[in-house]
Structure 1
Amino acid sequence: MNALSRRRWATASFHVSAGGLSLLWLLPIVLVLVTSVRSFDDIAAHGLGSLPHSFTLANFGQAWSDGGQQRALINSLLVTVPCVLVTLALAAMAAFALSRYALPLRRTLLLVMLGGNLLPPQILLIPVNKLTELTGLYDSLTALVLVQIGFGVGFYVFVLHGFMRAIPAEIQQAAVIDGASPLQIFWRIILPLARPALAALSALSFTWVFNDLLWAITVLRSDAKMPITAALIGLQGQYVSMWNVIAAGSVIAAAPTVAVFLRFQRHFVAGLNLGAVK
């Protein structure tokens, strides 16, 4: 076998292996999608893993209204959207100051921010719970927003710092000569150049916060304030054997993050690659 044949064989083997792994990864997703549009009688008669013999969208309506998915989705958006906006705004300003100006102890500050993200969140559950109780914020969406911002801003500062530091200094020097203030440099020059990184972090932050369960059940208690991930647990308890309704609720919970990722997919990949190289 010559070199060309070996190369073709290796390429074909790679594609077959990658295709098989992709199908294996997609199989649970397809199962959930198919189950979400089957009736309960169909699943009870033929089994969960059988081919569908029915098609209905009533499961989504049942999960949306009776299962509380509508209220939970609103709660998740009320937490996620402010978290993404505030966290990225704070992180962008901090990264700009730490990367473009010779501030004292800036390396130490970056290491402290990065070190905070290396702590396992499990060891902080009780302190965070007690702190929200002492401040009177326990069982409120405000507490969840503040916790998500506090634990997310350090990582985003670290990523944006590496991106902004690689922006040529000559651009900022030319703006200073033209009389631009630090705020104008940040708003009109640095932020537009950092758009790929900001878009990537927006998609990443939205996914993390929206899908979070740990902090939600730590600082919240009322069912009416639970986000979508915690509501799925309640949905499973409410519809114990109705897998079609539970699957429909899972699809509803996954739809926003999938939509955000598809919208920012190009920026997501480009932003992470640029941040890694720079």
Structure 2
Amino acid sequence: MTVSADRITRPAHPARPTRPAGGAPGRRRGRFGVHAFLLAVSLAFLAPLLLAVYASLRPYEETARDGYFSLPSRLSLDYYRQAFSDSGMGRYFLNSLLIAVPGVLVTLFLASFTAFAVARLRLRGSMVLLMVFTAGNLLPQQVIVTPLYVLFNKVPLPYWMSDSMTLYDSLWAVLAVQIAFQLGFCVFVLANFMRTLPQEILEAAIVDGAGVWTRYRHVTLPLCRPALAALGTLQFTWMYNDFLWGLVFLSTGDKLPVTSALNNLRGQFFTDYNLLAAGSVIVALPTIVVFLLLQRHFIAGLTLGANKG
């Protein structure tokens, strides 16, 4: 049986939609406007930092004579060497790391385990517990400075933990306050993130005989790695940059964190602000390095769920 070619009908091609005239240029202009706006906002945020870096590279006599917005005659790194040596930043950097690194690790461990219990174990009153943790972040830190000062002067510590024999004037005091204040925020974020994880994964682990610790350590934590990385970056930045608690609870100069030790660069009758700017840039470098190292995980943690419909 043969079919003539005349009887074969081909489907008509659908008409291609016509692009409106001027559409692409309009989109390009809109995109250019968005980029220009973002660039302006970024420069506004970076302007103080860029001015501090610029001032730290110039002699104070030159900026005092010509102003900070004048053209430099020469640039040097002398202030950075002087700031690091005059303030003894090596010791103070160690103090900040002794507070920030254990504080981040302990906070993330306690917060992740608490969030797992609240979000996955179906405890009675879990929502009330989560509200209590969240409400702690609404309390201004300055309100409890005096009660904590009195309390820490009465809490005894062995000599090998603190030479003051009390919790006051020890790194343990600053570490305890940092963990207590940051715990609520981390529990709130991790609990909401854990609720988005598939329940079937934990049900399969229960069928296989996994206990609570196994479900937490080997099932839930690996899935929360982006959120933990984002929180770890934020927590390290907040604990490292804290100025208040080290100034209130530490009276010995050698125990101060590096942010509080910047006062050592101030003179009694005269302050070289270019030297102070160099010290501030040095103090900010660790947080920048941590963010650059964890940038991929940090951005992934912030954008989780953005594409879920």
TM-score range, shorter chain: over 0.9
1:35 equivalent to 2:65? Answer no
CA distance in 2, matches of 1:275, 1:232: 41
- State the TM-score, normalized to the length of structure 1: 0.92
CA contact (8 A) 2:107 2:183 kept: yes
Q: Go from structure 1 to structure 2 and tell me whether the alpha carbon gap of 1:235 and 1:275 turns closer, same or farther (over 3 Å shift).
A: farther
Contact 2:86 2:265 in 1 (8 A): no
Q: 2:86 aligns with which of 37, 47, 66?
A: 66
CA distance in 2, matches of 1:112, 1:174: 31
Q: What secondary structure is seen at the aligned counterpart in 1 of 2:271?
A: coil
What residue number does 2:183 align with?
153
Task: Using the TM superposition, give the Cα deviation of residue 38 of structure 1 relative to its aligned residue in structure 2, in angstroms.
Answer: 2.1
Whole-angstrom distance in 1 between the partners of 2:208 and 2:134: 36
> Superposition pairs for residues 9-24 of structure 1, below 5 Å?
9-24=29-44
- Counterpart code for 1:68: G
2:17 aligned residue: none
Say whether the 8 Å CA contact 1:196–1:271 is kept in structure 2.
yes
Matches within 5 A, 1:71-150: 71-135=91-155, 136-150=166-180
Q: Which residue of 2 aligns with 1:225?
A: 255
Q: Deviation per CA, 1:74-111, whole angstroms, max 9, x where unpaired?
A: 11111101100111011111111111112121111100
Code of the aligned partner of 1:194:
C
Greater mean deviation of Cα atoms: 260-269 or 200-209: 260-269
* Cα deviation, residue 65, structure 1: 1.6
- Once residues 209 and 83 of structure 2 are traced to their aligned partners in structure 1, the CA distance between those partners, rounded to angstroms, is 58
Aligned residue number for residue 211 of structure 1? 241
| Distance across 2 between alignment mates of 1:239 and 1:66 | 17
**Matched residue type, 1:204:** L
- How far off its partner does 1:197 sit? 0.4
**Larger RCO of the pair (alpha carbons < 8 Å, separation 6+):** 1
List runs of 5+ in structure 1 lacking aligned partners.
none
Of 49-58 and 123-132, more deviation after overlay is shown by: 49-58
Is there any run of 5+ residues in structure 2 with no aligned partner, and where? 1-20, 156-165
Q: What SS does the aligned partner of 2:303 have?
A: helix
Q: Determine the C-alpha separation between the residues in 2 that align with 1:275 and 1:5.
A: 32
Do the aligned residues in 2 keep the contact of 1:59 with 1:248 (CA within 8 Å)? yes
Per the alignment, do residues 70 and 5 of structure 1 end up closer, same or farther by CA in structure 2, a change over 3 Å counting? same
- CA shift at 1:275, angstroms? 7.0
AA in 2 matched with 1:168 = P
More helix by share: 1
- Matches of 2:174 and 2:181 in 1, distance apart? 11
Match of 2:28 among 8, 13, 30: 8
Q: Considering only aligned residues, what root-mean-square deviation do their CA atoms show, in Å?
A: 2.1
**Normalised by the size of structure 2, how large is the TM-score?**
0.83
Query: Matched residue of 2:68: which SS?
Result: coil
Task: Tell me which of 196, 208, 230 is aligned to 1:178.
Answer: 208
Bigger Rg, structure 1 or 2: 2
Secondary structure (helix, strand or coil) at the match of 2:72 reads coil
Sequence identity percentage: 46
